[in-house]
C-alpha cells in the first residue's frame, strides 16, 4: 500500500533532487563581470560558434585572455588598461584545428575624476635614490605576480567583498600627491578599522606576499586565467605563498602600512595584466 507518509517522503526527496540539479547547473553557468568597454573596464566578447569543445586561445595585445563557457558559446573576458587607447581594438582567436581569426571591439572614452591628497611622509611622494631601488624591485615582484597565467576551468568571476566598509576612493581617480601628478588610482579603497579581517572574494591560491614601499604589507591571490587580486596596506598577513584559499576564508587584516592617509584596504583586480575596476566583479553591495 502506498500511504500518505511515503508519498510525502517521496515529494521531499524529489524536491531535494531538483535543488541539487539547480545548484549543479548554476555552477556550470558563469556569471560574467559587467560589460564595460572603457579604459579600466572589461569587455565581454562572444566568440564565433565552434564545434570544438576545448577552450580557444585568445590574446589581446599579445597577452593571453580569459575565456569562459557561457551557455552554448565561448566568451572572452578582456581586461582593458587605464591607459588603453579609445576606439577600435582587437583580439586574436585560435581554436584547435581551425583557422585563427580576429574580432574587434570598441573602447569608449571615460573621464575619471581628479583627487588631491596630502601625504605627511614626504619620502612616500619624493623617494630617495635608495627608495627608488626598492620601488623598482617591488614593482618587478608585483607585476610578476599580477601577470601570472594559470589554467582554471572552474573559474568564478563573481566576487564577494573582501571587507565591508565605505568605498572611500573609487577606481580610476587621476591623482595628485602634495600637488604633484602621479599614476591614476588603479584600485578601489575600502575604509575599515585597523585589524578588521580580510577574506578571499573567490577561491584562489596565494601567489605572492610582501612588504612594499608604496603598497605596504600585501597579499596577491591568483584566481586563474589571468585574474589576480591584490590587497595592500595590510596590518597582518596570515597566509603563505602557495596556500589555497576558499571564498570567504580569512587571509589577514586591514592596516595602514605603505603610502596611506589612514587605515583602509586598497584592492586591486588585475585581468590579463591590466588593472580593472573591482566593482565590475562584485555581486555584493558595501
* Residue 278: CB minimum distance to Zn ion, A: 11
Task: Give just the sign of the alpha carbon dihedral 266, 269, 273, 274.
Answer: negative
* Residue 173: CB minimum distance to Zn ion, A: 9
Count of residues interacting with Zn ion (CB under 5 A): 3
Nearer of residues 169 and 225 to Zn ion, judged by Cβ:
169
* Residue 239: CB minimum distance to Zn ion, A: 21
- Candidates 199, 182, 208, 190; CA nearest to 270 is 208
Nearer of residues 203 and 277 to Zn ion, judged by Cβ:
277
Per-residue H/E/C for 148-172? CCCCCCCCCCCECCCCCCCEEECCC
Q: What is the DSSP letter of 55?
A: P
> Among residue numbers 248 through 277, which ones bind Zn ion (CB under 5 A)?
266
Q: Which residue is nearest to Zn ion (CB)?
A: 266
* Residue 147: CB minimum distance to Zn ion, A: 20
Using CA atoms, how far apart are residues 211 and 139, in angstroms rounded to an integer? 12
Using CA atoms, how far apart are residues 206 and 230, in angstroms rounded to an integer? 10
Q: What is the DSSP letter of 49?
A: P
Which conformational region is residue 122 in: left (phi greater than 0), alpha (psi within -120 to 50 degrees), or beta?
A: alpha
- DSSP, collapsed to helix, strand or coil, labels residue 123 as helix
Which cell is 240 given?
603563505
Nearer of residues 103 and 182 to Zn ion, judged by Cβ:
182
* Residue 187: CB minimum distance to Zn ion, A: 5
Regarding 233 and contact with Zn ion (CB under 5 A), the answer is: no
Task: Please identify, among the stretches 86-94, 180-188, 191-199, 253-261, the one whose residues bind Zn ion according to the rule CB under 5 A.
Answer: 180-188
Nearer of residues 89 and 196 to Zn ion, judged by Cβ:
196
Task: Please identify, among the stretches 31-39, 154-162, 186-194, 235-243, the one whose residues bind Zn ion according to the rule CB under 5 A.
Answer: 186-194
Using CA atoms, how far apart are residues 138 and 203, in angstroms rounded to an integer? 25
Regarding 222 and contact with Zn ion (CB under 5 A), the answer is: no
Using CA atoms, how far apart are residues 236 and 213, in angstroms rounded to an integer? 16
* Residue 56: CB minimum distance to Zn ion, A: 35
Regarding 189 and contact with Zn ion (CB under 5 A), the answer is: yes
Residue ranges binding Zn ion (CB under 5 A): 187, 189, 266
Amino acid at each position: 500500500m502506498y500511504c500518505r507518509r511515503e508519498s510525502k517522503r517521496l515529494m521531499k526527496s524529489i524536491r531535494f533532487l531538483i535543488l541539487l540539479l539547480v545548484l549543479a547547473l548554476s555552477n556550470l553557468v558563469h556569471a560574467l563581470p559587467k560589460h564595460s568597454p572603457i579604459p579600466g573596464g572589461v569587455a565581454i566578447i562572444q566568440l564565433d560558434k565552434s564545434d570544438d569543445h576545448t577552450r580557444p586561445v585568445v590574446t589581446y595585445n599579445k597577452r593571453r585572455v580569459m575565456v569562459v563557457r557561457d551557455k552554448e558559446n565561448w566568451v572572452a573576458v578582456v581586461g582593458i588598461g587605464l591607459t588603453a587607447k579609445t576606439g577600435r581594438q582587437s583580439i586574436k582567436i585560435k581554436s584547435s584545428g581551425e583557422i585563427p581569426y580576429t574580432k574587434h571591439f570598441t573602447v569608449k572614452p571615460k573621464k575619471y575624476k581628479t583627487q588631491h591628497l596630502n601625504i605627511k611622509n614626504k619620502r612616500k611622494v619624493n623617494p630617495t635614490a635608495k627608495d627608488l631601488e626598492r620601488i623598482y624591485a617591488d614593482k618587478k615582484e608585483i607585476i610578476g605576480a599580477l601577470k601570472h597565467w594559470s589554467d582554471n576551468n572552474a573559474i568564478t568571476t563573481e566576487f564577494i567583498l573582501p571587507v565591508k566598509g565605505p568605498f572611500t576612493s573609487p577606481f580610476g581617480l587621476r591623482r595628485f600627491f602634495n600637488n604633484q601628478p602621479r599614476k591614476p588610482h588603479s584600485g578601489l579603497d575600502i575604509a575599515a578599522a585597523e585589524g578588521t579581517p580580510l577574506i578571499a572574494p573567490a577561491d584562489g591560491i596565494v601567489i605572492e606576499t610582501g612588504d612594499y614601499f608604496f603598497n605596504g604589507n600585501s597579499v596577491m591571490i591568483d584566481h586563474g586565467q589571468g585574474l589576480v587580486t591584490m590587497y595592500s596596506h595590510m596590518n597582518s598577513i596570515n597566509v603563505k605563498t602557495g596556500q589555497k584559499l576558499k571564498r570567504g576564508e580569512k587571509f589577514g587584516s586591514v592596516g595602514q602600512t605603505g603610502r596611506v592617509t589612514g587605515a583602509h584596504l586598497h584592492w586591486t583586480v588585475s585581468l590579463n595584466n591590466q588593472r580593472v575596476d573591482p566593482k565590475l566583479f562584485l555581486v555584493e553591495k558595501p
